């Protein structure tokens, strides 16, 4: 089987030292040029929560919208982002928001 991977599994498995699992599971693994550039050249990771946080900080989303989105992610069975991570991101943004209001 041939699979095409995106940056999320490559970065997470790479950090865990488990990249070989991809080839052991699927045989041939294809890494698109854009994924290679993101993972190897730039070394950045913009997962779902990262994009939401960046949009909030750029004032493209209000905090209540972020909270609603994160709660929706937690509630869904088809989005695999740990609830603990979601809650940690919300707590961090709440702290940032409180700091801005106290300044």
Predicted local confidence at residue 102, as pLDDT: 77
- Tens digits of per-residue pLDDT, 44-97? 657 788 888 989 999 999 999 999 999 999 999 988 889 999 999 999 999 999
pLDDT tens for 23-45 read: 999 999 998 888 888 777 776 65
Tell me how crowded residue 54 is: count the other CB atoms within 10 A of its CB: 12
Give pLDDT, residue 84: 93
Give the pLDDT score at 45: 57
pLDDT of residue 4: 92
And the tokens for 83?
Answer: 């609830």
Which run of H or E residues covers position 74? Answer: helix 63-75
State the pLDDT at residue 43.
64
Give the helix/strand (H/E) hosting 89.
helix 83-102
């Amino acid at each position: 089987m041939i699979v095409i991977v995106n940056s999320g599994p490559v970065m997470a498995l790479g950090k865990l030292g488990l990249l070989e699992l991809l080839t052991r599971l699927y045989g041939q693994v294809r890494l698109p040029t854009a994924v290679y550039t993101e993972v190897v050249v730039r070394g950045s990771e913009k997962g779902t929560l990262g994009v939401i946080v960046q949009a909030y900080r750029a004032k493209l989303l209000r905090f209540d919208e972020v909270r609603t989105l994160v709660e929706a992610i937690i509630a869904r069975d088809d989005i695999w982002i740990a609830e603990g991570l979601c809650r940690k991101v919300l707590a961090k943004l709440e702290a940032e928001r409180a700091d801005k209001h106290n300044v």
